[in-house]
Structure 1
Amino acid sequence: MTIERDGFPAPPALVEHARRFRAEGGTPAVPRVAATVLLLRPAPADFEVYLIRRVAAMAFGGMYAFPGGGVDASDSQAHVDWAGPDPAQWGARLGLSPEAAQAVVCAAAREVFEEAGVLLAGPDAQTVVGDVSGDDWEAARIALERHEVGFADLLAQRGLTLRSDLLLPWSRWITPEFEPRRFDTYFFLALLPEGQRTRDVSREADRVLWARPADARDRAAAGELTMLPPTLVTLGQVAACGDLDGVAHAATTRDAATPVTPHLESTPDGPRFLLSPP
């Protein structure tokens, strides 16, 4: 049986959350729509993925994850120059209205710039900006992070077009019902643009690393890295693709609309997360 069918060990803190929620007859929080991005880059053996560890004060603190965060009002109201599939096409892939799909895609691009310093935009529909690590770009990133400027305004000020075609939809996960903060998260993949580099700039992370997906998953299984099921499963899925061409091909047929939700259950091996649908 696969590890996905056997389930995943549950951290004690989450087991306690679930116990208290059930004992008190809690009402599930409404999930906030969010987006996360697996940044990938070529490596000598195959390819690597970028991971950040959330600071302890954050939701899911101490866990390794991919850059991402919630959709906010500026994403929903954005009037941005757009390249790639139009919002209606994105909506068909994500199971959303065109307006909601545009907001999710904008959130994915915005969050990966805020948290990793990588900008999926260019002067036109065929190009991508190069190095965005200079002082002027860092000032713009900080202003965006502080909500002093919207993502669409930032791009407009610099004459840039959002390259939605650089994002590949992969999956959708919803946080378990017992968690006080819940997210309905759309997972995307993106190849690190040539000339750009990730930077440890997020105030929400205390460690970052590049690793082969299979290696990161093995390190998590060994207890070296702490991850929740969405990260573990996704690492296994992309690792199974073999190389970046295989990942891109797999993304074309992925179901990115049907949500997967981890459920905490008692098993002979102790509390474990099981997935629905499996």
Structure 2
Amino acid sequence: MSSETPVARPASTIMLLRDRPDTFDVFMMVRHYQIEFASGALVFPGGSVDAGDRDIIGRPELYCCADATAEPALDFQIAAIRETFEESGILLARPLGSDQLVAASRAAEIEALHRTALCESRISFAQILADHDLVLALDLLVPYARWITPEKLPKRFDTWFFLAEAPPEQLGMHDGKESTDSIWLSPQEALDGGDSGRFTLPFPTTRNLIRLGKQPNVRQALADSRGKPIVTVMPIMSRDGDKRTLRIPAEAGYDGEVFEFTGS
């Protein structure tokens, strides 16, 4: 048996936010129980960076307002928007030459035409954008966190988390395949659901919800994170009898360094 540490696959996820009178909500989905990774868990939309995302980098007419020299790299940003469209139907893009996001009615038409085909690799994201004269709104993405799966685990990801304000009137809906339910709820409501057993929350999701829930509204959440240095988190797992713990960098901003590990 090989002792080599599995390579962490590049991945991206977006925490889509929208205000409500008393707080703000984040869009989350329940992963299908037969999915290999995080089955049955309540998560943010996202997934692996693929070759098509890297191809778009060579077509700058398809994206806007990105700093190609900054972290995270462009392919992570592009993948974040593509995966969010695949998994929720929400499209962070603008019509060519416009400073306004694509109208919800138009986004719905594009979703109906292409979302399934994109998920099944029968059309590329670049082709969808080109056919509909759309430009990815990469400037809406605010880098929030970077988590790398511990080295001891067989399936590993190097995941960038982004914040973005959800486009008005694009409500989002799970695909019924990789995810079986979707919901807008406040960070605290998601955490309460985890405590009650209503939801299964992976450790990184829990920590990011706790941190996000300290903000009063979408504007403050985005402002607090914009331009802030990102400390990469790769938890170190340890075991003492039946007790398992995860150690993360204290400077990552998660109000602690050692946490009891009870889930995924």
Whose relative contact order is higher, 1 or 2, with alpha carbons under 8 Å and at least 6 apart? 1
Residue among 197, 200, 213 paired with 1:239 = 213
8 Å CA contact 1:263–1:276 kept in 2: the answer is: no
Q: Structure 1 segments of 4 or more deviating over 3 A?
A: 132-136
* Residue in 2 that maps onto 1:185: 159
The count of corresponding residues between Structure 1 and Structure 2 is 245
* Residue in 1 that maps onto 2:124: 150
Partner of 1:177: helix, strand, or coil? coil
TM-score under structure 1 length normalisation? 0.82
* Residue in 2 that maps onto 1:208: 182
Taking a change above 3 Å as real, the CA distance of residues 222 and 184 of structure 1, as seen in their structure-2 partners, is same
Taking a change above 3 Å as real, the CA distance of residues 188 and 195 of structure 1, as seen in their structure-2 partners, is same
TM-score under structure 2 length normalisation? 0.86
Q: Cα offset for 1:152?
A: 1.6
CA offset digits 1:208-258 (Å, max 9, x no partner) = 2111102211221333311112101111111112211210111114333x3
Residue 199 of structure 1 aligns with an amino acid whose one-letter code is M
Structural mapping, 1:25-174, within 5 Å: 26-58=3-35, 59-78=37-56, 79-80=59-60, 81-88=62-69, 92-94=70-72, 101-123=73-95, 124-131=97-104, 132=106, 134=108, 137-174=111-148
1:230 matches 2:204: yes
Partner of 1:37: helix, strand, or coil? strand
Structural mapping, 1:2-41, within 5 Å: 26-41=3-18
Structural mapping, 1:247-258, within 5 Å: 247-256=221-230, 258=231
Partner of 1:261: helix, strand, or coil? coil
Partner of 2:10: helix, strand, or coil? strand
1:264 matches 2:237: yes
Moved more, 129-138 or 180-189: 129-138
Q: Cα offset for 1:154?
A: 0.8
Partner of 1:264: helix, strand, or coil? strand
Alpha-carbon distance in 2 for matches of 1:233, 1:53: 18
Residue 114 of structure 1 aligns with an amino acid whose one-letter code is E
- Specify every segment of 5 or more residues in structure 2 that has no aligned partner in the other structure, as ranges: 251-256, 258-264
CA offset digits 1:93-114 (Å, max 9, x no partner) = 33xxxxxx11111100100000
Alpha-carbon distance in 1 for matches of 2:100, 2:109: 22
Taking a change above 3 Å as real, the CA distance of residues 270 and 206 of structure 1, as seen in their structure-2 partners, is same
Alpha-carbon distance in 2 for matches of 1:252, 1:133: 27
Residue 105 of structure 1 aligns with an amino acid whose one-letter code is Q
Q: Cα offset for 1:25?
A: 7.8
Alpha-carbon distance in 2 for matches of 1:167, 1:173: 17
8 Å CA contact 2:41–2:200 kept in 1: the answer is: yes
Moved more, 265-274 or 176-185: 265-274
Moved more, 268-277 or 50-59: 268-277
- Specify every segment of 5 or more residues in structure 1 that has no aligned partner in the other structure, as ranges: 1-23, 95-100
Partner of 1:188: helix, strand, or coil? strand
Cα RMSD (Å): 2.0
Alpha-carbon distance in 2 for matches of 1:136, 1:126: 19
Alpha-carbon distance in 1 for matches of 2:156, 2:176: 21
Alpha-carbon distance in 2 for matches of 1:172, 1:152: 26
Moved more, 168-177 or 125-134: 125-134
Q: Cα offset for 1:135?
A: 5.3
